[in-house]
């Protein structure tokens, strides 16, 4: 049985990695899915790979006009938005003492500021029974060295979920955080073998996670299976942050 039959979902950053896996799983479960991304070619590839049930809106989540276009495209579908997955994000290292204002602004604008305004822009389209899934990271609470801005941006995401879960409860909207650990996505494509081995050793299960495993957790938080879950954080990390 399709767990999202008849649902309308938006997945930001749905053209690759975790976002793509989530969009693909949601479509397979019967949802009509709209994905976003900055690169039209990547969006076209994702739409072709997912197939039926998915559409794409090109845009940058840090751009208010682009968020307006996304909201207009969703509204044009003529029904309420049931699921919003805020997934767009960037991760770039910079050691303390070497952090430039441009680096800090880029990370916080994309990961934190854009998350807030994406939710705020699409919130009027959501009704009772809707679900918001904010994609955080275990980096938000384990303090990975060399990632000051990124860690802070993901800690803010967790704070958003706690606040919004209470604020939106009277409207019947649930808000939860999905926090992955090391997942085999394009972000690790350029990592050398030494770094990848160091990451693997951090994980009690001894491996990177797969995007599909993160998508399965997102499905739980987005579906009625988690109807009494809000303000929570679900870590998909192979135990990396649980010791």
Partners of 134 in the β-ladder:
86, 177
Nearest to 169 by CA among 128, 118, 133: 128
Nearest to 234 by CA among 219, 221, 243, 225: 221
The answer to whether 131 and 228 have CB atoms below 8 angstroms apart is: no
In this prediction, residue 201 carries a pLDDT of 86
Cα distance between residue 172 and residue 150, in whole Å: 31
The answer to whether 138 and 179 have CB atoms below 8 angstroms apart is: yes
Element (H, E) at 243: none
Instruction: State the pTM of this model.
Output: 0.95
Element (H, E) at 226: none
241 as an active site residue: the answer is no
Cα distance between residue 119 and residue 20, in whole Å: 19
Nearest to 119 by CA among 153, 85, 75: 85
Q: How far is CA 237 from the centre of its chain?
A: 15
In this prediction, residue 52 carries a pLDDT of 86
Contacts of residue 64, Cβ cutoff 8 Å, sequence gap at least 6: 117
The answer to whether 112 and 106 have CB atoms below 8 angstroms apart is: no
Q: Annotated catalytic residue: which of 150, 160, 164, 208?
A: 150
In this prediction, residue 76 carries a pLDDT of 97
The answer to whether 11 and 37 have CB atoms below 8 angstroms apart is: no
| Residues of the chain predicted below pLDDT 50 | none
């Amino acid at each position: 049985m399709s767990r999202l039959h008849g649902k309308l979902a938006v997945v930001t950053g749905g053209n690759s990695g975790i976002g793509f896996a989530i969009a693909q799983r949601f479509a397979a479960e019967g949802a009509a899915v709209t994905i976003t991304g900055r690169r039209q070619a990547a969006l076209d590839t994702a739409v072709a790979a997912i197939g039926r049930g998915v559409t794409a809106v090109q845009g940058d989540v840090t751009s208010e006009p682009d968020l307006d276009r996304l909201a207009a495209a969703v509204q044009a579908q003529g029904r309420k938005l049931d699921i919003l997955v805020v997934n767009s994000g960037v991760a770039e290292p910079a050691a303390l003492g070497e952090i430039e204002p441009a680096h800090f602004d880029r990370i916080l604008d994309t990961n934190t500021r854009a998350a807030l305004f994406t939710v705020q822009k699409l919130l009027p389209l959501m009704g009772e029974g809707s679900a918001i899934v904010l994609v955080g990271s275990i980096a938000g609470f384990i303090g990975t060295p060399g990632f000051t801005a990124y860690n802070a941006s993901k800690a803010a995401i967790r704070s958003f979920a706690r606040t919004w879960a209470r604020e939106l409860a009277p409207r019947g909207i649930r808000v939860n955080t999905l926090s992955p650990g090391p997942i085999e996505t394009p972000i690790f494509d350029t990592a050398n073998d030494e770094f990848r081995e160091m990451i693997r050793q951090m994980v009690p299960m001894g491996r990177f996670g797969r995007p599909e495993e993160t998508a399965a957790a997102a499905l739980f938080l987005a579906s009625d299976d988690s109807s009494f879950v809000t303000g929570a954080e679900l870590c998909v990390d192979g135990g990396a942050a649980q010791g």
